[in-house]
Amino acid sequence: MSEPDTSDGAAPSRTLIIVAAVLGLGLVAAVVAIGLLGGGSSDDTGTDTAANGPLALPGAPAPKADSPACTTLLDALPDTLESAGEQLSRRELADPAPEGAAAWGGANPVVLRCGTPKPGDLTTTSKLRQVNDVQWLPVQDQASTTWYAVDRKAYVALTVPADAGTGPLQEISDIIDAELTAVPPRP
């Protein structure tokens, strides 16, 4: 007796089943390899090694970056900041590094700039927020908030990613309050 004819397409051939299984296993192996070799999500908290090299900050006007107030503040800044329960390490800045600047964290860092011009949004009717005895003007966009300390001899801008929590603002406020003399806001 002969085997029944299955060439009518009712059942796939043994070769086709083996090829499909090999392709499926290859796809699973590729996905696992990509996940293990760096294709996973980036960590903005400063633990992503690709985001810990020198940080290139774009130049920004900072006419008082070389002032004694900014020198004092920059010398007092910590090596780490706490952000949403994580420790953000201070970043080395790539050359040419903007004067009066510092940064902490990974791919989406917390950035401080001292000696910036008066913020354009600062008016006599601006709603300021006091954090640990420092008067701040918050300017928010989709990805971050830039907080301007407006009651010191030099304006200080602190840009904080939206997911960073309040730790960086509180810690920098304490340092500004300890190191820089308060003056009335100058709208």
In a domain, 5, yes or no: no
Report the domain count for the chain.
1
Q: Is residue 109 part of a domain?
A: yes
Do 79 and 89 form a contact (C-beta atoms < 8 A)? yes
Asked if pLDDT for residue 39 goes beyond 50, the answer is no
Q: Is residue 9 part of a domain?
A: no
Domain assignment present for residue 44? The answer is: no
pLDDT in tens, 58-117: 999 999 999 999 999 999 999 999 999 999 999 999 999 999 999 999 999 999 999 999
Residue 81 contacts by C-beta under 8 Å, 6 or more apart in sequence?
87, 88, 90, 104, 105, 110, 167, 168, 171, 172
Comparing 1-15, 29-43, 48-62, 107-121, the range with the smallest average pLDDT is 29-43
Q: Kindly state the average pLDDT of the residues 139-149.
A: 98
Q: Which of 67, 81, 82 is nearest to 180 (CA)?
A: 67
Q: Which residues, listed in sequence order, are joined to residue 104 by a DSSP beta bridge?
A: 90, 110
Q: Is residue 184 part of a domain?
A: no
Burial (CB < 10 A; 0-12, 13-18, 19+), residue 154, is: buried
- Residue 166: CB atoms within 10 Å: 13
pTM over 0.95: no
Secondary structure element (H or E) that encloses residue 168, with its range: helix 167-179
d(CA 100, CA 51): 21
CB atoms within 10 A of CB 185: 18
**Segments forming the whole domain that contains residue 54:** 49-179
pLDDT number for residue 3: 55
**Where does the pLDDT of residue 49 fall: very low under 50, low under 70, confident under 90, or very high at 90 and above?**
very low
